[in-house]
Homo-oligomer: A and B are copies of this chain.
Amino acid sequence: MLQDVLTTTQRLLKPYLRNFLIQRRTSVSKVNQWGDDVMDRLEGFAGQGKMLRGGLVIEAARMFGRETDEAVLAAGAAMELVHASLLIHDDIMDRDVLRRGQPTMWAQYQRLGETQGVDRSTDFGQAMAMCVGDLGFFMAVQLLSQTQDKAAAMVHVFGRELPPCCYAQMEDVALSLSTAEPSKEQILSVYKYKTARYTFSLPLAVGAILAGADEILVEQLENFGEQLGILFQIKDDELGLFGDEAEIGKPVGSDVIENKKTLLRYYLFTLANPSQRQELGLVFGHDLSVEQLDWVRELVRELGIDVLITTQVDELIAECQLLIDQLDVAAEHKQFFSQLVEYTINRSK
């Protein structure tokens, strides 16, 4: 059933977003060459994701009685564009060069700059990609205006949920570049506000609001989305260390190289003995050999961190299930949410 949702998303939302971007080309070509250029790149990037967030908008709307009309697709596409833009900016901040198996936006423009012989191609790439991200936010606003009768409600919920995402991103940046060790609470707060609420709570709320669901239900969905999103991020960390490079679309171990303050890393540094901790300090935040990657993986098992995390994952699953049980929705929808939990923990990308 979840597969159906993702298939529907691919079938409806992908062409909708593509058409939206193509239509923009006609109006932007009068400005300068970059409009055309950026529409192609945005389509190549935003159109290639799983579209999980957009899919959740569509499914939540359908679940509460609104079919996939223009307004639902516009809100779903807005969700995907905001997501794409946050990733584009995130990749500049992290200096990541690979995402979804292709060069990140700033890396694409850096390359273009090199081809065109511009001064300082890295600065050029970063500046151009910063503009593309800003553009994505503004085009999302443009899409929200197409949600007709629900435009006011849409700007309200997007405007409420996205600012915390920025504070959490700031904390993430600060934790990444700080030499101080973060607490577990700080890490989980980033998971909640940077990932969970906007990946699950926001799209579920958007869909439900479009369908006219009442406030209490919307809040219940948001709470469920929060727990599910933390689960999602913990799984992301696992994939980042143990996943398959071809599937996850970026180098395995990049979190280690970037010294990302993940929960996995927290346990490693907390549970390691002094000599292991010293070694970890030399490994995290630097280029990583295959042997070092294997050593980190082995240490995760040796220190029982995999078991520790499995326990936490199980707790989160139970919490999600409890929240699903409490939802005032039909049994088939509860089943969908349960499948969503399963998908989150079993996915390979």
Contacts and interface: CB of A to CB of B under 8 A. Distances in A.
Dominant SS among interface residues on chain A: helix
A133 B132 CA distance: 14
Contact of A32 (B116, B142, B171): B171
Interface stretch (A10-18, A145-153, A289-297, A334-342): A145-153
**Contact-residue size bin, chain A (C-beta under 8 Å from the other chain):** 35 or more
Interface string A150-161: 011011101110
Contact of A128 (B123, B132, B135, B173): B173
A177 B119 contact: yes
A166 interface: yes
Nearest to A134: B166
A118 interface: yes
Contacts of A113: 177
Copies of this chain present:
2
Interface of A: 24, 28, 31-35, 38, 86, 89, 92-93, 95, 113, 116-120, 123-124, 126-128, 130-135, 137-139, 141-145, 148, 151-152, 154-156, 158-160, 162-171, 173-174, 177-179, 186, 189, 193, 285
29 contacts: A24-B163, A31-B171, A32-B167, A33-B171, A34-B171, A35-B164, A35-B167, A38-B167, A38-B170, A86-B134, A92-B127, A117-B179, A119-B178, A124-B177, A128-B174, A130-B130, A131-B166, A132-B170, A138-B163, A138-B166, A139-B163, A141-B155, A141-B158, A141-B162, A142-B160, A143-B159, A151-B152, A151-B156, A155-B155
